[in-house]
Amino acid sequence: MEEKQESQKSRTYKQSITEVFKETKSTENGLSSADAAERLRTNGYNQLAEKKKKSSLQLFLETFKDAMVIVLLIVAVVQMVMGAYVESLVIFIVLLMNSVVSVIQTKKAEGSLEALKNLSAPDARVIRDGKEQTIAAKDLVVGDVFSLEAGDYVPADGRLLEASSLKVDEGMLTGESTSAEKEVTEIEGTVPVGDRVNMVHSGTIVTYGRAKVLVTAVAGQTEIGQVAGLLESTDEHKTPLQKGLDSFSKKLSLAILALSLVILGIQLARLFMGDQSGDMTESVVQAFMFAVAVAVAAIPEALQSIVTIVLSIGTKTMAKKNAIIRKLPAVETLGSTSIICTDKTGTLTQNKMTVVDYYLPNGETGDFNQEPSSWSLGEKRLVEINVLVNDAIIAEDGSKLGDPTEVALIDFSEANNQSYREIRETYPRQNELPFDSDRKLMSTVHEIDGERLLMTKGGPDIVFDRCDRVLLDGEVVPMTEALRQKYQEQNELFSTRALRVLAFGYKPLDQQEITFDDENGLIFAGLVAMIDPPREEVFQAIEEAHSAGIKTIMITGDHKTTAVAIAKEIGIFKEGDMALTGTELDELSEPQLVDVLKKVSVYARVSPENKIRIVRAWQTMGHISAMTGDGVNDAPALKQADIGIAMGTGTDVAKDAAAMVLTDDNFVSIVSAVEVGRNVFDNIKKSIAYLFAGNLGAIISIIFALIADWSNPFTALQLLFINLVNDSLPAIALGMEKGEPTIMKRQPRDPNAGIFTGNTLISVTYRGILIAVAVIVAQWLGMQHSAEMGVAMSFSTLIWCRTLQTMPARSNTQTALQAGFFSNQMVLLAMLVCAVLYSVTLIPGLREVFAIPAAFGLEQIMICIGLALGATVLMEATKLILVAFKKEGAE
Ligand code: ADP
Ligand code: MG
């Protein structure tokens, strides 16, 4: 079976195209939707099998691998043997619930990561039912016809039906580092994969040109699918924060284990030195169990999943604000971003281009002659190049498809009563050199009035350099320095009006084949100028970024004067700032660049290589920089940047290299994402501080009791119960806290500062001590009645302290009332759940298990809640005082 598929598949490139159509039961026009759906049903999705996820059961069982849990299980079994059935049953239940909660958390975190992955899944442009449409790449089937262009990942193996200047990077398949040229041809005999020039292969990258392809193999049948074992990507990158927490948790766990051992040691010593009446075995087991419970309660085992959940909540919020996170660490990095390097066209501007002016070499400008039959040769040529060196189309339903720059050019033709379609049909394209952002030119070949012409459009400065003649009043004359000067000035004139200018040239051509060398010795034919208004919200977003300590830098392929004019308009280019072109940048040495770096807010006519250099320069100065990009050549810069940002309309390659994709291409979304990123970090900090303050409170009261020679303030079971009640829900609810009002008023976070900065540490300790004091006072009050009452009181007080502490944990600068008591309903819900769970311990029958004596009644509960409330109010009051102090200090 395998053999047969293999041989059929490897025949494809040798077959005639008719044979391939027959074999795939398809045509030039692709499949019908119904047929494709049928094939998808029988043959499955076009995706490589991914590594199997752990099932819930597996995850559940894994929670019992934990050493602490094993010890507790043993303790429970021992208790059972000793006849304490209810106690051991409750331990089992608590352990079970702990595991279930942990599995739910892990699954939830996994699920949101999965959803994220689906959001950035690749697309394919196929022809189905005779119409071009975009589908998910995984829905491709054998027989589909799809199109490719520069920057696409090839989604399946296929035979070329059409190809123009197609180049494909097949490195991942052949190890070849240069792009392979592809063409529609027939191949005889057997050749290796790298030489199958009439085929494209799944997973490779189109670096240049375009093509139409018939799918011949999908999923596991593709060339890459055969070696898929190697490709299974385990994309489980931990974020720097997660890694930091990992190592921190390990150290903390060791410290807590040591502490529990000490506690165990002291208790055992007291047991054996004291009077040895009573059941010694029972007491030893109790001491043992208590020590383990301390460890379990104090080790923040929920930390990892809480961090993942908060991060993924953040990515969901970002997705709603049009920023799709592809690499989880980016969520954190965003909070430290201090530089945003952004494209101009489409990101800062609307990318809705309209031609507003033109210029012919004889000086004609302003209002175009709207009567095509009376056009001069100059006017005629200008419109021809406009429309022919152009891939945009107006579809039957009137919608305009293609690069907005090119759409503007066909609009120009139509507005002057000349159907663009008519020109295209009269002079079909014989060859082309597609636009790329390095060359900033595009050329096509046509036969016009019996003469074969190469026609070129591109950036004016570039086109001027390539013209040695001019079409002046219908005559071709040499380009003089004076003329060139005049055209340059006209270009500047347009550019200072913030217009995007394109220049046009052409030349007669003998042959039909062309290379980049042919884009020389051109005849200059004129200029067209278009406006592209800034996006409305952009001005405010740049302001906001500025007050958040983030510098915005414009990086564009456009002309310097145009770029600066727009940059001024939207507040990027300020008094005293500098603008550099790519060429000027190339001339600067590294130290020279560092010198001016802070002043440059606009880079114009840049190449993708320039982008890398700009990012590096900022990085060496210790800045975290975000960089946008959309083309194939932008990928290296996107990888180099701390946060690579690809445009939703950009190429697959750019998206793949990026950490984040903007679905609306909008600069404003970057700033919103930064805000969310800052908030995610804040919230993780709040969750962790909440957990640690609670644990610290418990530990201090245990140590205090030990020193004061009181009985343990909690039973082992109580500790486990508190761990279950307070360690997950409130912490996750804190992860949903909305941003502090000052979030975009402060400087970016120092990326090297860990989560525990001085202030956090102080506030955790302070809150821990307040909790401990409340618990100790409660135990003392209870002890006036009996030792058992003391334990019941300290247990109840700790639960209430930790529950109520959720409120002050919500903000570092505001009290819960200022932040809005009801503004995070998850917190209220979490607190309610905690209260309900607490009341379970009061149910007759369970009371005994939780060591709550019969005398513990409403009065005692009120005292415990009162003490906890007191601690909480103190926490809030201190916050108020500190904030007031800081303000005074600042004034
Ligand atoms: P940006 O997106 O930063 O404005 P681009 O890389 O899109 O820059 O374009 C850079 C320059 O290339 C433009 O200023 C223009 O002169 C030229 N250009 C842009 N689009 C085309 C095109 N479709 N054909 C020819 N030249 C183009
Ligand atoms: Mg562009």
Structure tokens at 795: 């247990």
8 A C-beta contact, residue 771 and residue 871: yes
Closest-lying ligand 1 atom to the alpha carbon of residue 403:
23
Dihedral sign, Cα of residue 768, residue 774, residue 780, residue 783: negative
Residue nearest to atom 1 of ligand 1 (CA): 557
Produce one character per residue of 566-580: b if its CB has 16 or more CB atoms within 10 Å, e if not.
bbbbbbbbeeebebb
Tell me the mean pLDDT in the region 19-46. 93
Confidence class for position 9, pLDDT limits 50, 70, 90: low
Q: Compare 54 and 128 and report the one with higher pLDDT.
A: 128
Contact by Cβ (8 Å): 125, 29: no
Q: Which of 435, 461, 528 to mutate to test the pocket of ligand 1 (most atoms within 8 A of CB)?
A: 435
For residue range 270-295, what is the model confidence (pLDDT) as tens digits?
888 877 777 788 788 888 888 888 88
Q: For residue 413, what pLDDT band results from cuts at 50, 70 and 90? A: very high
Under a CB-based contact definition with an 8 Å cutoff, are residues 343 and 630 in contact? yes
User: Which candidate, 382, 384, 408, places its Cα nearest to that of 394?
Assistant: 408
Q: Determine whether the shortest distance from the Cβ of 556 to ligand 1 is under 6 A.
A: yes
Residue that is written with structure tokens 């020279």 in the block: 592
d(CA 184, CA 204): 18
Quick count: other Cβ atoms within 10 Å of Cβ 708?
10
- For 691-705, what is each residue's pLDDT tens digit? 999 999 999 999 999
Q: How far apart are CA 511 and CA 508, in angstroms?
A: 10
Taking residues 31-58, report their average pLDDT: 86
% the chain with pLDDT above 70 = 96
Closest residue by CA, ligand 1 atom 20: 405
Helix axes 716-726, 85-119, angle to 10 degrees: 20
What are the CA-CA distances from residue 675 to residues 315, 650, 850, 870 (Å)?
A: 12, 24, 45, 34
Least confident of 115-129, 339-353, 462-476: 115-129
- Best substitution site from 348, 388, 502 to test ligand 1's pocket, by max atoms within 8 Å of Cβ? 502
pLDDT of 861 strictly over 70: yes
SS3 category, 380:
helix
Is pLDDT of 512 > 70?
yes
CA–centroid distance, residue 367 to ligand 1 (Å): 24
CB environment 322-341: b (16+ within 10 A), e (fewer): bbbbbbbbbbbbbbbbbbbb
- When pLDDT is cut at 50, 70 and 90, the band that residue 50 belongs to is low
Q: How remote is the CA of residue 382 from the centroid of ligand 2, in Å? A: 22
Ligand with minimal distance to 558 CA: 1
Ligand 1 centroid – CA 605 distance (Å): 9
The pLDDT of residue 329: 84
3 state DSSP class of 205: strand
Mean pLDDT of 154-168: 93
Helices (H), 709-757: 716-726, 729-734
Question: Cβ contacts of residue 24 below 8 Å, gap of 6+?
Answer: 142, 143, 214, 215, 216
| pLDDT at residue number 3 | 40
Cα separation, 614 vs 607, in Å, equals: 11
CB 547 within 8 A of CB 744: yes
What's the pLDDT band for 875 if we cut at 50, 70, 90?
very high
Which three-class secondary structure state does DSSP give residue 716? helix
**What is the DSSP pairing of strand 600-604 with strand 578-581?**
parallel
Dig out the tokens for 376 from the structure: 């001069």
DSSP code at position 891: -
Ligand that comes closest to the CA of residue 649: 2
Report which of 214, 215, 211 is spatially closest to residue 162, judged by C-alpha positions. Answer: 211
pLDDT recorded at residue 2 = 40
Q: How far is CA 704 from CA 274, 298, 723, in A?
A: 20, 16, 20
Residue 367 among the catalytic residues: no
Would you tell me how many other CB atoms lie within 10 Å of the CB of residue 891?
5
Q: Residue 165: enclosing H or E segment and its boundaries?
A: strand 157-169
Residue 563 exposure: Cα atoms within 13 Å on the Cβ side: 25
CA-CA-CA-CA dihedral for 515, 519, 523, 526, to nearest 10 = 130
Mean pLDDT of 201-207: 90
Contact in structure between 415 and 409 (CB atoms under 8 Å): no
Pair 604, 435: CB distance under 8 Å: no
At residue 713, φ and ψ (nearest 5 deg) are: -70, -20
Distance 526 CA to ligand 1 centre (A): 17
pLDDT of residue 228: 55
Per-residue pLDDT at 283: 84
Q: Is the CB of 326 under 6 A from ligand 1?
A: no
What pLDDT sits at residue 501?
97
Burial class (CB in 10 A: 0-12, 13-18, 19+), 22: exposed
Can you tell me the mean pLDDT for 293-302? 81
Contacts of 566 (CB under 8 A, 6+ apart): 344, 348, 349, 498, 534, 554
Residues 811-818: contacts with CB under 8 Å, at least 24 apart = 811/686, 811/737, 811/740, 811/879, 812/682, 812/686, 812/740, 812/759, 812/763, 812/879, 813/740, 813/741, 813/742, 813/879, 813/883, 814/740, 814/741, 814/879, 814/883, 815/876, 815/879, 815/880, 816/876, 817/876
- The CA radius of gyration of the chain, in Å to the nearest whole number, is 35
* pTM score: 0.85
The residue whose CA is least distant from atom 5 of ligand 1 is 557
Lowest model confidence (mean pLDDT) among 47-61, 195-209, 515-529 = 47-61
What is the dihedral sign for C-alpha 382, 388, 389, 395?
A: positive
Distance 434 CA to ligand 2 centre (A): 14
Q: Which secondary structure element, helix H or strand E, spans residue 107, and what is its range?
A: helix 85-119
Distance, in Å, from the CA atom of 117 to the CA atom of 50, rounded to the nearest integer, reads: 13
For residue 406 and ligand 1, the question of a CB distance below 6 A is answered with yes
Q: How far apart are CA 44 and CA 196, in angstroms?
A: 26
Per-residue pLDDT tens digits for 106-155? 787 777 667 767 766 788 999 999 888 999 999 999 999 999 998 899 99
For the chain, first and last CA: distance in Å? 80
Helices 303-320 and 329-336, packing angle to 10 deg: 70
C-alpha count within 13 angstroms, C-beta hemisphere, residue 459: 20
Whether residue 471 has pLDDT greater than 80: yes
Q: Is the predicted pLDDT of residue 80 greater than 60, yes or no?
A: yes
Q: Which domains does the chain have, with CATH numbers?
A: 1-49+122-233 (2.70.150.10), 302-316+674-889 (1.20.1110.10), 323-350+535-665 (3.40.50.1000), 354-531 (3.40.1110.10)
How high is the pLDDT of residue 129? 93
Please state, in angstroms and rounded to a whole number, the distance separating the CA atoms of residues 114 and 813.
35
Distance 347 CA to ligand 2 centre (A): 9
**pLDDT-based confidence at 862, cuts 50/70/90?**
very high
Mean pLDDT of the chain: 90
Q: Quote the CA–CA distance of 485 and 728 in Å, as a whole number.
A: 71
| 481-496 and 560-570 helices, crossing angle to 10° | 10
Catalytic residue among 139, 144, 152, 343: 343
30 contacts: CB under 8 Å, gap ≥ 6: 126, 127, 128, 130, 143, 144, 145, 146
Q: Per the structure block, which two tokens stand in for 506?
A: 């052409």
Query: In this predicted model, what pLDDT tens digit does every residue of 876-889 receive, in sequence order?
Result: 999 999 888 877 65
Cα 356–chain centre separation: 38
721 lines ligand 1 (CB under 6 A): no
